[in-house]
Structure 1
């Protein structure tokens, strides 16, 4: 009962509170009974569902903003999406049109085309913007931290090291592996090259990085770098664990490449 009450409070305080009132009444019970068959070890309590659903709406907001592929960085959110698609796909389309202005098609990783890291970069910039963060970074928005926060079994753990986002797959208990891959598409220079940020925003990022480096050299903690700063994360050669064609990302939703499917527009 306490978790149910807390889950309701989480939804009421969300910026998506109005949309959350339109969730199918049976979605939670259906997700609770079916998600564990697809996502082994997933927690099936009301608080997990509330946070995962809010993450899914964060993603719908990002995917509906423009054309092209937008990859979902959370398996927890994807678990709700899958349940909703099985339960009432037509009502999901109506929900998205009402609250986000358009439908958000569920696209398997193998059919998204192009590079999933590029689609993740699109989602990253849009999610940062939605939360009032600098589009160029380095801080990560809540959608990208969701699986690690919820300890989603085999989910995607994101962190920041030296100003660059990276990810690794969580283990069966939802524990984070600090040996992350840092795709260049998600770094500030990659965002600039893809036209996702402006030259002025990139220059601002570089200036903040220089100021942080100078402060850190004076013995400061450097806390302005964000929650992932200072952790034992090794970005290695800053290369992605997926190749440029996306062929090493697996044949189905939920690959090891930092994304669990996505949505795209024409």
Structure 2
């Protein structure tokens, strides 16, 4: 005798309907925000999601795994892949939720992952621990930030985070990284999230701002001029006030260190807090 199949309850059907509706709204938003990454997401092998659903929580306890979360995390990972493939220099992945998808894919079908990257990105994007990324981690983070902003057709100086930088906050990823653009200091910052997905850790500032992005060649001439004009305006304002500081206010190399809690030579504020085991060269 075959086992009886229990029909879903009314609450379960309502929850499923609600989850599907949330995923549809999210897909519509992503189609406007990052259409390239979303188009690649539609080409993912079904086995990637199956591996993520089956095993991601073993390595990333508490990772949210609904339909909306899968759509966000997989699209954000592909946004990162596009950035890494098109950027001259190493990139750091700023999301544990996206890294959970990457790890699941690596564990289930490493050859298929490499083939997918070669077909759709033109080259493989290696998975590297942050300790193996050449150069300062904040530089790798800055490259990722600027490239992902470009994918969303906005300037890196606009102050709005691209998807992969917002992902952990959007999904309330336990132990994730809650990124913000610090408007007062005009640089990138983050907090570590607690087990409930709330930002509770100490705010860490990064040397990712106009001066560092310009130094890495990631700003257009117009954007670099805009940054310089803002610095001049802030300098004039400071002439009539006491105290206060502005991240990168002078636009020189010394000001870049104001946004970082360390020097960036292996001990920068980025450290293991912005891509432990996740980066590409």
- For normalisation by structure 2, the TM-score amounts to 0.75
1:183 aligned residue: 206
**How many residues in Structure 1 have an aligned counterpart in Structure 2?**
237
SS of residue in 2 equivalent to 1:64: helix
Which segments of 5 or more consecutive residues in structure 1 lack a partner in the other structure?
215-236
What's the offset of the Cα at 1:65? 0.3
Task: Summarize the Cα distance change of 1:204–1:178 in structure 2 as closer, same or farther, 3 Å threshold.
Answer: farther
Contact kept? 2:213, 2:219, Cα under 8 Å: yes
Q: For residue 240 of structure 1, what is the aligned residue in structure 2?
A: 260
Deviation at 1:29, TM superposition (A): 2.3
Question: Are residues 1:203 and 2:225 paired?
Answer: yes
Q: Normalising to structure 1: TM-score of the pair?
A: 0.78
| Equivalent residue number for residue 132 of structure 2 | 111
CA RMSD in angstroms comes to 2.8
Residues of 1 paired with 2:123 and 2:143: CA distance? 18
The verdict on how the C-alpha distance between 1:52 and 1:213 changes in structure 2, with shifts beyond 3 A counting, is farther
CA displacement at 1:101 relative to structure 2: 1.9
> Which residue of the other structure, out of 182, 190, 213, is the alignment partner of 1:167?
190
Contact 1:128–1:141 (CA under 8 A) maintained in structure 2: yes
Q: Deviations over 1:20-72 (max 9, x none)?
A: 23212122222112111111111122211111001001001100103320111
* Structure 1 residues 85 and 152, CA gap change in structure 2 (3 angstroms): same
Partner of 2:252: none
Distance in 2 between the 1:165 and 1:112 partners? Answer: 20
Shift of 1:124: 0.7
Alpha-carbon distance between aligned partners in 1 of 2:225 and 2:138, rounded to the nearest angstrom:
23
Mark the CA change 1:140 to 1:17 in structure 2 (over 3 Å): closer, same or farther: closer
User: Quick one: which of 33, 42, 45 aligns to 2:63?
Assistant: 42
Q: Give the distance between the partners of 1:154 and 1:206, measured in 2 at CA.
A: 37
User: CA 1:139–1:9 in structure 2 vs 1: closer, same or farther (change >3 Å)?
Assistant: closer
Provide, for residues 49-96 of structure 1, a one-character-per-residue CA deviation record: whole Å limited to 9, x for no partner: 111001001001100103320111111101000000111111111211
Which residue matches 1:127? 148
Map of 1:72 onto structure 2: 93
1:199-227 Cα shifts (integer Å, max 9, x gaps) = 5312213546888999xxxxxxxxxxxxx
Which of the numbers 23, 27, 36 marks the counterpart of 1:7? 23
Counterparts in 2 of 1:201 and 1:18: CA distance versus 1, 3 Å = closer
Say which of 69, 76, 92 aligns to 1:55.
Answer: 76
1:182 and 1:240 in contact (8 A); partners too: yes
Query: Are the equivalent residues in 1 in contact too, given 2:56–2:100 (CA < 8 A)?
Result: yes
Unaligned stretches of 5+ in structure 2?
1-15, 237-256
Q: Mark the CA change 1:171 to 1:91 in structure 2 (over 3 Å): closer, same or farther.
A: same
